[in-house]
Chain A
Amino acid sequence: MKIIFLITVLFNFSLNSNQALAKNFIYCSEGSPSAFNPQIVTDGTSVNATANTIYNRLVEFDAGTTNIVPALATSWDISKNKLVYTFTLRKGVQFQTTKYFTPSRDMNATDVIFSIDRQRIKSHPYHAVSGGNYEYFDGMEMGKIIKNVVAIDPYKVQITLSKPEAPFLANMAMSFMSILSAEYADKLAKENKKQEIDQLPVGTGAFIYQSYLKDNSIKFLANEKYWGKKGNIEKLIFAITPDANVRYQKLKIGECQFVTEPSPADIADMKKNSSLTVLEAPGLNIGYLAFNVSKKPFDNINVRKAINHALNKESYINAIYMGSATVAKNPIPPTIWSYNESVKDYEYSVDLAKSFLKKAGLPNGFESEIWTLPVSRPYNPNGKKMGELMQADLAKVGIKIKLQTFDWPTYLKKSKTGEHQMIQFGWTGDNGDPDNFLNTLLGCGAIAAGSNYSHWCDKMFNKLVTDAKATPDVAKRTALYRTAQKIFKEQAPWVTLAHSTSYRVMSKNIKGYKIDPLGQDIFTKVIVE
């Protein structure tokens, strides 16, 4: 008995010591960042640990929206021919002072040029550092879009494009366009330690990197000299916790104040807990089933329509997404501008499905395959189970489905070469621009790039989305995209399944956090009460 008593005393003694310190913010994140430079990472985990804490961009997305607001640039001019963007830089912005670097000057045009040219120019002294892959920069085709970057004066940067590109400004607000210090880069180059630029970061952001223990924690301190508005966090700690259930338990007993990506099954329980705040917002994503239209019988529009009518999407929302999603009718989520409300979805009807099959000359159905998503993604948390529901739905109209799946790398490889017939896929938007869905996933050019999984190339649709890309006028673009969505629905290269809801859960004393439509976690303005 005595021993038990002693142990209990010992435990309580050190438990209490945790709670005495205020203004610390512990964030239960789900994984380790792959590097500390947003230029060379693409995953949300790494972006949260770098772009949203340490760094800033010339322009940024306003908190909680995809609207573009000034950041390190206070204003910008676009030339009449839509090719030249001139950014005026903010004066008096200091790079962070860390154990490994003390800046001697303010941020200026040299830093901007360094940050862009490292990714853009193959012969740049920093290009090949850490492998030389700028996945995001290349994925958004920034290398092709930007023709030249020059400084007009220390606080004016002029970027010339090779063709008019409406989503350019949105791209400039993305994580990989973060501004790094050229002075720090020069220092490292002299010391022959170039690769440290990607591991020991120096930025202009609200938090200063302090330490990182892989798979365990990342620690930041507030940047007292931050140029913008910020909350009151003094110590920001990422507690890396890969298991969603464990994250929830940690939140419950106060080991962290904020959890990312809770498991949908726990949401109801979390909402009941009076010491927690649950925020939800429609995610910037789409889950879909793509038909490979280059294969029979999916080249036949009536077959595609029949399957659109045969699937009971409403039933998937509860069974697969635990209610945390909405049925999708367009390929872009309703939070993106130009979303076409007037598009009518294919209603669930076995009779209509059968009649379309008859029109297609397949009254008795056919046999086919559906590839089910092997990983859990917000846009489709359980591909296999959804596949089983689809199998049952399609059996009712006489289509016999074999379910097939591979591990994620194989799935990607085989689907990019078009080996599938029907395949579950999805997409999470990068910059809130409709082009990032409609052109990236359904444009003719995306077939060769491997992100158009239905291999669908419709001349009219493609003309609309390419024209919209070259038009900076938002009203005109909206009209073009709305028509494009109509054509998409009529041609039915996909079954649009769902837009998932994204959740963030935090302790009641956390204020000022806005859930981000791009799915990132930004704590700059958070207040710990």
Chain B
Amino acid sequence: MKFFLRKIIDLIPTLLGISFICFILIRLIPGDPVLLMIGERGVDPARYLEMKKSLGLDLPLIKQFYLFVQNIFHGNLGTSIVSKNAVWNEFIMRFPATVELGMFALFFATLIGIPLGIIAALKRNSFYDYFLMGTSLIGYSMPIFWWGLILILVFSVKLGLTPVSGRIDLLFDIPTFSGMMLIDTLQPSVIHSEGFAPFISCFKHLLLPATALGTIPLAVIARMTRSSMLEVLGEDYIRTARAKGLSKTQIVYIHALRNALVPIITTLALLFGSIITGAILTETIFSWPGIGRWLVQSITARDYPVIQGGVLIISFMIILTNILVDIIYYFLNPKMRQG
């Protein structure tokens, strides 16, 4: 219990620190949201000051930061300079799209990555091993924007199997329920009026972006599984299991894989961060309306409240995932329970 409490108490200074660094960093990049709105056009200096004042950017930095933190404690993340909407509303509108894409990508990566890693480990130093690990290295090094375009050219334009971009065929009108299209298209009212066509359309729209986004995690998971499996397969208890005459399947899946999974789960949690970074590029190429594009756009527009708020929420979630992993660890690894 003490262990969890400490984790949660640690959260507060970490988040404060992140907010402060983020707050300072975006203000260190030169440029000014007001001038950006004006563009090539000129502006009267008095009018310029007036606009700055209306956005609260005329206050001293310390005061601005103080107000930002004070607002957070009141549950207010600020208002976007560009859209004038509350940051939290903007976030919550887009987040389900990123979750859907990210989950699908991770699912794809795990489903393929773990078996590949196991095969590579079992056939160590064989042709399969070199081939699989070589391919995964290529997958890891491929730039997402390039890979995404190649996928579009091959699967959409040449083969005509998948749509180019977007979330669903735009002629369908799907009422928002969860914000995750795969779920929303299964609402009874939708099925009643359109059948399963929206669901299929939505699924097809997910395939390419999820593949593009899932490729790097796939490579990481495959390599991680291989090394973790190799380590476990060399342990004494595996030799004992073999000596007992257990079947190969039992050894690999019950004794080896279960123990090898511990580091893989940590990797999955760390990949959460890389999924968010990857989403930034993937979402741009595939016109996916998630938080990745939202953040990029707000950086180019110097939309300070959105960047601050967005980074704060995302870091909060990444930290939370790590705490969750610690908890799962706690149950998977008996040693931690005793300590």
Contact = CB atoms under 8 A, between A and B. Distances in A.
A215 B293 contact: yes
Contact of B170 (A13, A34, A219): A219
Contact of A407 (B29, B39, B54, B283): B29
A21 B171 contact: yes
A92 interface: no
B165 A250 contact: yes
Contact of B84 (A139, A198, A448): A198
Interface string A213-257: 111110100000000000000010101111101100110110100
B287 A409 contact: no
Interface of B: 29-33, 35-45, 47, 51, 54-55, 82-84, 90, 93-94, 149, 152-153, 156-157, 160-167, 169-171, 173, 197, 200-201, 204, 283-290, 293-294, 297, 300, 302
Given A11-B161, A215-B94, A253-B160, A451 B153 contact: no
A426 B39 CA distance: 11
B47 A138 contact: yes
Interface in A1-47: 7-8, 10-11, 13-15, 17-18, 21, 24, 26, 32, 34-35, 42
Contacts of A426: 40
Contacts, number: 161
Contacts of B294: 214-215
Q: How large is the interface on A (under 10, 10 to 19, 20 to 34, 35 or more residues)?
A: 35 or more
Given A130-B84, A250-B165, A26 B170 contact: yes
B164 A255 contact: yes
Nearest to A139: B41
B167 A139 contact: no
A449 B290 CA distance: 38
A280 interface: no
Contacts of A250: 164-165
A301 to B, nearest CB: 24
Nearest to B286: A246
B39 A410 contact: no
A100 interface: no
Nearest to A143: B47
A410 B31 contact: yes
Given A135-B38, A253-B156, A425-B40, 11 more contacts: A24-B171, A32-B297, A133-B51, A139-B41, A216-B288, A219-B173, A249-B164, A408-B31, A410-B31, A450-B43, A451-B40
A108 interface: no
Nearest to A33: B83
5 contacts: A11-B162, A239-B170, A409-B29, A409-B35, A440-B41
Contact of B166 (A15, A239, A450): A239
A213 B289 contact: yes
Contacts of B29: 407, 409-410
A133 B31 contact: no
A131 B54 contact: yes
Contact of B284 (A32, A214, A242): A242
A235 B51 CA distance: 38
Contacts of B289: 213-216, 240
B36 A446 contact: no
A236 to B, nearest CB: 11
Contact of A241 (B39, B165, B201): B165
A243 to B, nearest CB: 6
Contact of B43 (A8, A17, A215, A449): A449
A63 interface: no
Given A243-B285, A416-B35, A450-B43, A14 B30 contact: no
Interface string A444-475: 00101111100000000000000000000000
Nearest to A11: B161
Nearest to B145: A243
Task: Please name the 6 residue pairs, one residue from A and one from B, whose CB atoms are nearest each other, closest first.
Answer: A409-B31, A449-B42, A451-B42, A215-B289, A410-B30, A216-B289
A233 B36 CA distance: 36
A315 interface: no
A195 interface: yes
Most buried by A among B32, B40, B90, B156: B40
B166 A255 contact: yes
A496 B54 CA distance: 38
